[in-house]
Structure 1
Amino acid sequence: MTDAPGTIDSAGPSVFADIPTTTLADILGRGQVMDIGIRPLWSPVPRTAGPAFTVRCAPGDNLMLHAAIHRAGPGSVIVVESGDLDYALAGGNVCAVARRRGVRGFVADGLIRDLAEVRAMGFPVFARGVIPVPGGKSVVEPLNVEVRCGGVPVRADDLVVADEEGVVVVPAARTDEVLAAARAKLAEEAAETLDAWEEAHRTRVDAILRAQGFEG
């Protein structure tokens, strides 16, 4: 039952795990898609979906991510603003504790370490890369405030969907609308044959070419 703006049906945020990021990108546009530097650090990674628990870490410091793993609720995706490419935000033990507490994954504008451990435990991490150098732990920042990750503003409880194609942020107030549109689009695509798609595609492309004066 949906009784407030931004809530989704009784299946919860996990219903978005059935929606490809390509479909969401078609609906939401470029502004809600993180840049290509935020990528899965192991493969094949499962599609990961959940409400954002947002974290901001100061350059060279990972204190607040380490605090967040004990505070983020089960089913959440921890989203980290850092932009620091000199130090790791987290390692194997941090990921293991987050996983044990029900966190679905990390989306981090930064780096991690202990990738072999993270891969072995099957914990989804989408980040800029890996470095063996750990960050410090001294700078306090507020949790669950608006952050910027991969060029996209992310607020607490925005719906984050990440897979091998990329990371998309669905604003919390639009989850019902976007879910309905995504399901309708997927159903339409499933009902269309490749022959029908090819015919419609060629007609559209040829019309654009003619309008631009192309002959051939």
Structure 2
Amino acid sequence: MAMTEPTIVPESSAVSVSVSGAVVGGLRDVPTTTLADLLGRARVMDVVVRPLWQPVPRVAGPAFTVRCPPGDNLMLHAAVHRAAPGAVIVVESGDLDFALAGGNVCAVAQRRGVAAIVADGLIRDLAEVREAGFPVFARGVIPIPGAKSAVTPLNRRVRCAGAEVDAGDVVVADEEGVVVVPAARAEETLTAARARLAQEAAQSLDDWEKAHRNRIDALLHAGGHEES
């Protein structure tokens, strides 16, 4: 019996907000710590997803979202050929037994201009990926690849390492972690981040220390703490 090739489900075109390149570029200059302070815990991926090599550059790009069931990597491999230059491919998986991608897949993604892969799962061929300088944020590495049979829609909402990601959201990742900036809030988040960074740059360590000490002492006093 002849085998038939699986049909790739087209990615959704229903991205409600398009973030400009200028805003994406601006967010690339903002540390994830600042974005996390502004957006809160729900927009920060769990610590299990980390950069797989160091020092990793900070990356930012609109999310191209993928869902891969455990043991299967077909849709990530499909996404590599469909994601636009500058995109960050974000993969919902959670698989700890099989690799989602390897050196050649990452090399093709890099050649096509993909900014990074962020995967709630594993990859392989880490030495090749590190040598190429392609940013990958994932749970870790394992040498055995997954299968290619499960077809799921591309560019639908996914949950990656505890954070919900819609296609087109801006994903910012660096050595501190991965933050998801909702597309509808990207511009206002950038404005707030720039204001906060400017305020921090204008404050000396002495001024910060004084304000910090006063705040901590006030909290201790409010909580009934008495110096021994």
Structure 2 length as normaliser, TM-score? Answer: 0.91
How big is the shift at 1:150? 0.8
- Work out whether 1:146 is the aligned partner of 2:154: no
SS in 1 for 2:22: coil
Which consecutive unaligned segments of at least 5 residues does structure 1 have?
Answer: none
Q: Which residue of 2 aligns with 1:62?
A: 73
In 2, the alpha carbon distance for the partners of 1:186 and 1:6 equals: 26
Superposition RMSD in Å: 1.1
Matches within 5 A, 1:51-200: 51-200=62-211
Q: For residue 223 of structure 2, what is the aligned residue in structure 1?
A: 212
Consecutive aligned runs of 4 or more in structure 1 exceeding 3 Å deviation? 5-10
Q: Secondary structure at the match of 2:184?
A: helix
Deviation at 1:7, TM superposition (A): 4.9
The count of aligned residue pairs is 212
Q: Hey, what's the Cα distance between the residues in 2 that align with 1:124 and 1:86?
A: 22
Query: Quick one: which amino acid aligns to residue 42 of structure 1?
Result: W
Change (3 A) 1:154 1:8: closer
- Secondary structure at the counterpart of residue 11 of structure 1: helix
Q: Tell me: CA distance 1:67–1:9, structure 2 relative to 1, closer, same or farther (3 Å).
A: closer
CA distance in 1, matches of 2:20, 2:129: 32
Q: Match of 2:153, as an amino acid?
A: P
**What is residue 35 of structure 1 aligned with on the other side?**
46
Give yes or no for contact 1:7–1:176 (8 Å, CA) kept in 2: no
Note if contact 1:110-1:129 (Cα within 8 Å) is conserved in structure 2. yes
Distance 1:9 1:97, change over 3 A: closer
Aligned residues with identical type, % of pairs: 71
User: Which residue identity does 1:124 align to in structure 2?
Assistant: P
* CA–CA separation in structure 1 for the residues paired with 2:209 and 2:18: 37
**Aligned residue type for 1:203:** N
Distance 1:209 1:22 in 2: 26
> Aligned partners of 2:65, 2:93: CA distance in 1, in Å?
11
| 2:18–2:168 contact (8 Å) kept in structure 1 | no
Query: In structure 2, how many angstroms separate the alpha carbons of the residues matched to 1:6 and 1:187?
Result: 28
- TM-superposed CA distance for 1:94, in Å, is 0.2
Aligned residue for 2:12? none
Give the whole-Å Cα distance in 1 for the aligned partners of 2:150 and 2:117.
20
Unaligned runs of 5+ in 2: 1-15
